[in-house]
Structure 1
Amino acid sequence: MKSEPKYSLTLNIKPSETEIAYEHFMKKLSFETDVADLLIDLKKGYSGITVIDVRDELSYQECHIPQAISMPGNQITEKTVEMLSKDQVIVAYCWGPACNGATRACAKLSKLGYKVKELIGGLEYWRKEGGDVTGTLAENAPLYWTYKR
Protein backbone atom coordinates (compact mmCIF):
# COMPACT_ATOMS: atom_id res chain seq x y z
CA MET A 1 0.00 0.00 0.00
CA LYS A 2 1.33 3.39 -1.03
CA SER A 3 1.31 6.12 1.61
CA GLU A 4 0.40 9.72 0.83
CA PRO A 5 3.38 12.05 0.53
CA LYS A 6 3.89 14.47 3.41
CA TYR A 7 4.98 17.37 1.20
CA SER A 8 3.28 18.98 -1.82
CA LEU A 9 5.21 20.98 -4.40
CA THR A 10 1.90 22.37 -5.67
CA LEU A 11 0.88 23.60 -2.24
CA ASN A 12 4.33 24.60 -1.00
CA ILE A 13 3.19 28.16 -1.71
CA LYS A 14 -0.36 28.51 -0.51
CA PRO A 15 -3.02 29.73 -2.97
CA SER A 16 -4.27 33.29 -2.64
CA GLU A 17 -7.40 34.28 -0.85
CA THR A 18 -10.35 33.91 -3.20
CA GLU A 19 -11.03 37.65 -3.58
CA ILE A 20 -7.38 38.36 -4.38
CA ALA A 21 -7.34 35.47 -6.87
CA TYR A 22 -10.49 36.79 -8.55
CA GLU A 23 -8.94 40.26 -8.94
CA HIS A 24 -5.74 38.77 -10.34
CA PHE A 25 -7.46 36.60 -12.92
CA MET A 26 -9.86 39.34 -14.00
CA LYS A 27 -6.94 41.72 -14.45
CA LYS A 28 -5.08 39.08 -16.46
CA LEU A 29 -8.11 38.66 -18.73
CA SER A 30 -8.16 42.42 -19.34
CA PHE A 31 -4.70 42.13 -20.96
CA GLU A 32 -5.22 39.13 -23.23
CA THR A 33 -7.66 37.20 -25.36
CA ASP A 34 -7.58 33.68 -26.67
CA VAL A 35 -7.83 32.28 -30.18
CA ALA A 36 -11.38 30.95 -29.77
CA ASP A 37 -12.80 34.27 -28.58
CA LEU A 38 -11.10 36.26 -31.36
CA LEU A 39 -12.01 33.69 -33.99
CA ILE A 40 -15.69 33.82 -33.02
CA ASP A 41 -15.71 37.64 -32.92
CA LEU A 42 -14.12 37.87 -36.37
CA LYS A 43 -16.48 35.25 -37.84
CA LYS A 44 -19.45 37.22 -36.46
CA GLY A 45 -18.05 40.39 -38.01
CA TYR A 46 -17.69 42.23 -34.72
CA SER A 47 -16.38 45.68 -35.62
CA GLY A 48 -14.91 46.86 -32.29
CA ILE A 49 -11.58 45.09 -32.80
CA THR A 50 -8.52 45.84 -34.92
CA VAL A 51 -6.12 42.92 -35.31
CA ILE A 52 -2.47 43.70 -35.92
CA ASP A 53 0.37 41.38 -36.87
CA VAL A 54 3.54 42.73 -35.28
CA ARG A 55 5.97 40.37 -37.02
CA ASP A 56 8.23 41.56 -39.85
CA GLU A 57 6.65 42.43 -43.21
CA LEU A 58 7.93 39.32 -45.04
CA SER A 59 6.46 37.00 -42.40
CA TYR A 60 3.16 38.87 -42.67
CA GLN A 61 3.17 38.55 -46.47
CA GLU A 62 3.77 34.82 -46.22
CA CYS A 63 1.05 34.07 -43.65
CA HIS A 64 -1.31 36.10 -41.50
CA ILE A 65 -4.81 36.25 -40.08
CA PRO A 66 -6.97 37.53 -42.98
CA GLN A 67 -8.37 40.51 -41.03
CA ALA A 68 -4.98 41.55 -39.63
CA ILE A 69 -3.01 44.55 -40.72
CA SER A 70 0.77 44.51 -40.75
CA MET A 71 2.42 46.71 -38.16
CA PRO A 72 5.92 45.45 -37.32
CA GLY A 73 6.48 46.02 -33.63
CA ASN A 74 9.84 47.70 -34.08
CA GLN A 75 8.17 50.34 -36.27
CA ILE A 76 5.40 51.34 -33.86
CA THR A 77 5.60 55.06 -33.18
CA GLU A 78 3.09 57.83 -32.61
CA LYS A 79 3.30 58.62 -36.35
CA THR A 80 2.94 55.04 -37.66
CA VAL A 81 -0.19 54.29 -35.64
CA GLU A 82 -2.14 57.44 -36.53
CA MET A 83 -4.56 55.46 -38.71
CA LEU A 84 -5.60 53.22 -35.80
CA SER A 85 -8.78 54.14 -33.96
CA LYS A 86 -8.60 54.74 -30.24
CA ASP A 87 -12.27 53.74 -30.12
CA GLN A 88 -11.41 50.12 -30.93
CA VAL A 89 -9.52 47.48 -29.01
CA ILE A 90 -6.33 46.44 -30.75
CA VAL A 91 -5.51 42.73 -30.59
CA ALA A 92 -1.83 42.18 -31.31
CA TYR A 93 -0.12 38.92 -32.18
CA CYS A 94 3.32 37.68 -33.11
CA TRP A 95 4.70 34.19 -33.78
CA GLY A 96 3.64 32.24 -30.71
CA PRO A 97 3.93 31.83 -26.96
CA ALA A 98 7.73 31.99 -27.04
CA CYS A 99 7.65 35.39 -28.78
CA ASN A 100 7.30 38.61 -26.79
CA GLY A 101 6.78 40.83 -29.84
CA ALA A 102 3.06 41.24 -29.17
CA THR A 103 3.76 42.03 -25.51
CA ARG A 104 6.21 44.74 -26.54
CA ALA A 105 3.77 46.12 -29.13
CA CYS A 106 0.94 46.22 -26.58
CA ALA A 107 3.20 48.12 -24.18
CA LYS A 108 4.04 50.69 -26.85
CA LEU A 109 0.44 51.04 -28.01
CA SER A 110 -0.97 51.40 -24.51
CA LYS A 111 1.63 54.08 -23.78
CA LEU A 112 0.29 55.90 -26.87
CA GLY A 113 -3.26 55.76 -25.50
CA TYR A 114 -4.65 52.70 -27.32
CA LYS A 115 -6.72 49.95 -25.68
CA VAL A 116 -4.93 46.67 -26.32
CA LYS A 117 -5.06 42.93 -25.76
CA GLU A 118 -2.49 40.31 -26.62
CA LEU A 119 -3.56 37.18 -28.51
CA ILE A 120 -2.50 34.23 -26.35
CA GLY A 121 -0.33 31.85 -28.38
CA GLY A 122 -0.01 34.17 -31.36
CA LEU A 123 -0.21 32.94 -34.93
CA GLU A 124 1.07 29.50 -33.90
CA TYR A 125 -1.98 28.76 -31.76
CA TRP A 126 -4.28 30.51 -34.23
CA ARG A 127 -3.17 28.02 -36.89
CA LYS A 128 -3.18 25.02 -34.52
CA GLU A 129 -6.76 25.82 -33.50
CA GLY A 130 -7.99 26.01 -37.12
CA GLY A 131 -8.04 29.75 -37.71
CA ASP A 132 -7.95 30.80 -41.37
CA VAL A 133 -4.73 32.25 -42.72
CA THR A 134 -3.84 33.97 -45.95
CA GLY A 135 -0.63 35.02 -47.67
CA THR A 136 1.82 33.86 -50.31
CA LEU A 137 2.50 30.64 -48.37
CA ALA A 138 -0.60 30.64 -46.11
CA GLU A 139 -0.83 27.31 -44.24
CA ASN A 140 2.49 26.19 -45.81
CA ALA A 141 4.42 29.01 -44.14
CA PRO A 142 6.85 28.20 -41.35
CA LEU A 143 5.08 27.80 -38.04
CA TYR A 144 7.93 29.26 -36.00
CA TRP A 145 10.44 32.07 -36.32
CA THR A 146 13.98 30.89 -36.96
CA TYR A 147 17.24 32.75 -36.83
CA LYS A 148 18.73 33.07 -40.30
CA ARG A 149 22.43 33.76 -40.63
Structure 2
Amino acid sequence: MPTRLMDRHEVRRLAEAGAQLVEVLPREEYEDVHLPGAVHLWLRDLDREASIRLDRHRPMVVYCWDWMCDMSPRTAARLEQLGFREVYDHVPGKADWLAAGWPAEGRSAEALSAGAVARRDVLICRAGQRVDEVLAQMRDTGKAVCVVVDDERVRSARHRRNPHARRLPCPTHT
Protein backbone atom coordinates (compact mmCIF):
# COMPACT_ATOMS: atom_id res chain seq x y z
CA MET A 1 0.00 0.00 0.00
CA PRO A 2 1.41 3.44 -0.93
CA THR A 3 2.61 5.69 1.84
CA ARG A 4 0.28 8.63 2.44
CA LEU A 5 2.15 11.91 2.83
CA MET A 6 0.34 14.67 4.68
CA ASP A 7 3.29 17.03 4.94
CA ARG A 8 4.41 19.27 2.05
CA HIS A 9 7.86 19.51 3.68
CA GLU A 10 8.33 15.76 3.18
CA VAL A 11 7.27 16.10 -0.47
CA ARG A 12 9.85 18.84 -0.97
CA ARG A 13 12.55 16.77 0.77
CA LEU A 14 11.79 13.74 -1.41
CA ALA A 15 11.81 15.85 -4.59
CA GLU A 16 15.15 17.41 -3.66
CA ALA A 17 16.51 13.90 -3.08
CA GLY A 18 15.47 12.86 -6.62
CA ALA A 19 11.90 11.62 -6.32
CA GLN A 20 9.66 12.04 -9.34
CA LEU A 21 6.61 14.28 -8.85
CA VAL A 22 3.59 13.13 -10.82
CA GLU A 23 0.38 15.11 -11.21
CA VAL A 24 -2.61 12.95 -12.10
CA LEU A 25 -5.18 15.64 -12.90
CA PRO A 26 -6.39 16.31 -16.46
CA ARG A 27 -3.76 17.86 -18.75
CA GLU A 28 -5.33 21.33 -18.77
CA GLU A 29 -5.15 21.55 -14.98
CA TYR A 30 -1.52 20.40 -15.07
CA GLU A 31 -0.65 22.98 -17.74
CA ASP A 32 -2.36 25.68 -15.71
CA VAL A 33 -0.26 25.07 -12.58
CA HIS A 34 1.81 22.20 -11.19
CA LEU A 35 4.59 21.53 -8.70
CA PRO A 36 8.10 22.34 -9.97
CA GLY A 37 9.49 19.58 -12.15
CA ALA A 38 6.33 17.48 -11.99
CA VAL A 39 5.30 15.38 -14.96
CA HIS A 40 1.74 14.85 -16.08
CA LEU A 41 0.30 11.36 -16.11
CA TRP A 42 -3.44 11.09 -16.14
CA LEU A 43 -5.00 8.06 -14.47
CA ARG A 44 -6.75 7.10 -17.72
CA ASP A 45 -3.36 6.74 -19.49
CA LEU A 46 -1.50 5.18 -16.59
CA ASP A 47 -1.06 1.60 -17.79
CA ARG A 48 0.20 2.67 -21.24
CA GLU A 49 2.40 5.62 -20.16
CA ALA A 50 3.85 4.73 -16.76
CA SER A 51 6.58 2.37 -17.97
CA ILE A 52 7.58 4.76 -20.76
CA ARG A 53 7.68 8.03 -18.80
CA LEU A 54 8.59 7.02 -15.25
CA ASP A 55 11.70 5.49 -13.71
CA ARG A 56 10.67 2.50 -11.62
CA HIS A 57 13.85 2.72 -9.54
CA ARG A 58 13.26 6.25 -8.26
CA PRO A 59 10.81 7.19 -5.49
CA MET A 60 7.61 8.69 -6.82
CA VAL A 61 5.19 11.20 -5.29
CA VAL A 62 1.77 11.37 -6.93
CA TYR A 63 -0.68 14.15 -6.20
CA CYS A 64 -3.93 15.63 -7.41
CA TRP A 65 -5.78 18.78 -6.33
CA ASP A 66 -6.54 18.22 -2.63
CA TRP A 67 -7.48 15.61 -0.03
CA MET A 68 -10.98 15.21 -1.53
CA CYS A 69 -9.61 14.11 -4.90
CA ASP A 70 -9.40 10.33 -5.24
CA MET A 71 -7.16 10.11 -8.31
CA SER A 72 -3.81 10.20 -6.51
CA PRO A 73 -4.52 7.27 -4.14
CA ARG A 74 -5.88 5.24 -7.06
CA THR A 75 -2.84 6.09 -9.18
CA ALA A 76 -0.41 5.29 -6.35
CA ALA A 77 -2.02 1.88 -5.80
CA ARG A 78 -1.96 1.11 -9.53
CA LEU A 79 1.70 2.13 -9.84
CA GLU A 80 2.59 -0.33 -7.09
CA GLN A 81 0.65 -3.04 -8.95
CA LEU A 82 2.71 -2.19 -12.04
CA GLY A 83 5.93 -2.82 -10.10
CA PHE A 84 6.97 0.64 -8.97
CA ARG A 85 8.64 0.15 -5.61
CA GLU A 86 8.54 3.39 -3.64
CA VAL A 87 5.29 5.25 -4.24
CA TYR A 88 3.91 8.07 -2.10
CA ASP A 89 0.53 9.79 -2.26
CA HIS A 90 0.64 13.48 -1.29
CA VAL A 91 -2.89 13.61 0.09
CA PRO A 92 -3.32 17.41 0.52
CA GLY A 93 -2.16 17.85 -3.09
CA LYS A 94 -1.22 20.94 -4.98
CA ALA A 95 -3.81 23.07 -3.16
CA ASP A 96 -1.74 22.62 0.00
CA TRP A 97 1.49 23.43 -1.85
CA LEU A 98 0.03 26.58 -3.42
CA ALA A 99 -1.57 27.70 -0.15
CA ALA A 100 1.89 27.72 1.39
CA GLY A 101 3.03 30.11 -1.33
CA TRP A 102 5.66 27.65 -2.55
CA PRO A 103 7.02 27.78 -6.11
CA ALA A 104 4.92 26.36 -8.92
CA GLU A 105 5.13 26.11 -12.69
CA GLY A 106 2.58 26.55 -15.45
CA ARG A 107 0.76 29.33 -17.25
CA SER A 108 -1.14 30.49 -14.14
CA ALA A 109 1.39 29.57 -11.48
CA GLU A 110 2.08 33.11 -10.29
CA ALA A 111 -1.55 34.20 -10.25
CA LEU A 112 -2.70 31.12 -8.31
CA SER A 113 -0.11 31.14 -5.56
CA ALA A 114 -1.12 32.43 -2.17
CA GLY A 115 2.00 34.54 -2.12
CA ALA A 116 0.85 36.43 -5.21
CA VAL A 117 -2.30 37.72 -3.54
CA ALA A 118 -1.52 37.65 0.18
CA ARG A 119 -0.91 40.85 2.06
CA ARG A 120 2.41 40.88 3.84
CA ASP A 121 1.72 43.80 6.17
CA VAL A 122 -0.76 42.08 8.49
CA LEU A 123 -0.32 41.78 12.23
CA ILE A 124 0.32 38.14 13.21
CA CYS A 125 -0.83 36.80 16.60
CA ARG A 126 -0.62 33.35 18.19
CA ALA A 127 -3.58 31.30 19.39
CA GLY A 128 -3.79 31.58 23.17
CA GLN A 129 -1.89 34.86 23.27
CA ARG A 130 -3.24 37.31 25.86
CA VAL A 131 -5.65 39.79 24.37
CA ASP A 132 -4.14 42.72 26.25
CA GLU A 133 -0.80 41.97 24.56
CA VAL A 134 -2.47 41.79 21.15
CA LEU A 135 -4.47 44.97 21.74
CA ALA A 136 -1.23 46.74 22.69
CA GLN A 137 0.39 45.49 19.46
CA MET A 138 -2.64 46.62 17.48
CA ARG A 139 -2.54 50.04 19.11
CA ASP A 140 1.22 50.38 18.55
CA THR A 141 1.00 49.37 14.88
CA GLY A 142 -2.29 51.07 14.10
CA LYS A 143 -3.79 47.77 12.91
CA ALA A 144 -7.46 47.00 13.53
CA VAL A 145 -7.11 43.27 12.81
CA CYS A 146 -4.61 40.55 13.61
CA VAL A 147 -4.44 37.15 11.97
CA VAL A 148 -4.26 34.28 14.45
CA VAL A 149 -1.86 31.53 13.34
CA ASP A 150 -0.82 28.15 14.70
CA ASP A 151 2.76 26.92 15.22
CA GLU A 152 3.10 26.23 11.46
CA ARG A 153 1.99 29.82 10.71
CA VAL A 154 -1.28 28.57 9.21
CA ARG A 155 -4.20 30.96 9.67
CA SER A 156 -6.66 29.65 12.20
CA ALA A 157 -8.73 32.75 13.01
CA ARG A 158 -9.01 36.50 12.71
CA HIS A 159 -9.26 38.80 15.70
CA ARG A 160 -10.77 42.28 15.66
CA ARG A 161 -10.46 44.69 18.54
CA ASN A 162 -12.75 43.51 21.32
CA PRO A 163 -12.06 45.00 24.75
CA HIS A 164 -14.18 42.28 26.43
CA ALA A 165 -12.15 39.29 25.21
CA ARG A 166 -9.54 37.79 27.53
CA ARG A 167 -7.70 35.41 25.18
CA LEU A 168 -7.46 34.94 21.43
CA PRO A 169 -9.72 32.23 20.06
CA CYS A 170 -8.43 28.68 20.08
CA PRO A 171 -8.10 27.35 16.49
CA THR A 172 -10.28 24.35 17.31
CA HIS A 173 -13.17 26.60 18.30
CA THR A 174 -13.18 29.04 15.34
Same fold (TM over 0.5): yes
Q: TM-score, normalised by structure 2?
A: 0.58
Question: Would you say 1:120 and 2:91 are equivalent positions?
Answer: yes
Offset at 1:141?
4.3
What amino acid does structure 1 have at the position aligned with 2:105?
Answer: T
Secondary structure of 2:60's partner? strand
Divergent runs of 4+, >4 A: none
Question: Would you say 1:102 and 2:72 are equivalent positions?
Answer: yes
8 Å CA contact 2:61, 2:87 repeated in 1: yes
What amino acid does structure 2 have at the position aligned with 1:67?
Answer: G
Structure 2: distance between partners of 1:50 and 1:85: 8
Give the counterpart of 2:49 among 80, 89, 105: 80
Structure 2: distance between partners of 1:85 and 1:41: 15
Secondary structure of 1:103's partner? helix
Offset at 1:139?
3.8
Structure 2: distance between partners of 1:96 and 1:109: 19
What amino acid does structure 2 have at the position aligned with 1:59?
Answer: E
Query: Unaligned 5+ residue runs, structure 2?
Result: 115-174
What amino acid does structure 1 have at the position aligned with 2:4?
Answer: E
- Which entry has the higher C-alpha Rg, 1 or 2? 2
Structure 2: distance between partners of 1:142 and 1:73: 25
Question: Would you say 1:35 and 2:5 are equivalent positions?
Answer: no
Secondary structure of 1:67's partner? coil
